[in-house]
Amino acid sequence: HRVANELQAGIVWINEYNITPAEIPFGGYKESGIGRENGLQTIEHFTQSKTIYANLGKVEKTY
């Protein structure tokens, strides 16, 4: 696996090919491709966090 560590690639298969579970990011490396697909990296890329506070009535204090 030493060669895989030295390669500048988005994915490296050794003795297998096209085995990509949905939770594993897939995509180009450096300037190739259009970014990552699959996994948390995609969700983080296309999501903007927002905090919303809404008064929905009385809440009994638990402390």
**Distance in angstroms (rounded) separating the CA atoms of residues 28 and 11:** 8
Does 21 fall in a domain?
Answer: yes
- Model confidence pTM above 0.75: no
Which structural domain, as residue segments, surrounds residue 14?
A: 2-40
Residues 9-23 as b or e (16 or more Cβ within 10 Å = b):
eeeeeeeeeeeeeee
pLDDT number for residue 33: 64
Does 53 fall in a domain?
Answer: no
Does 61 fall in a domain?
Answer: no
Series of mean pLDDT values for 10-residue runs along the chain (63 residues): 78 78 72 70 81 86 79
Does 32 fall in a domain?
Answer: yes
Beta bridge partners of 37: 26
Q: How many domains does the chain have?
A: 1
Does 27 fall in a domain?
Answer: yes
pLDDT number for residue 39: 74
Does 47 fall in a domain?
Answer: no
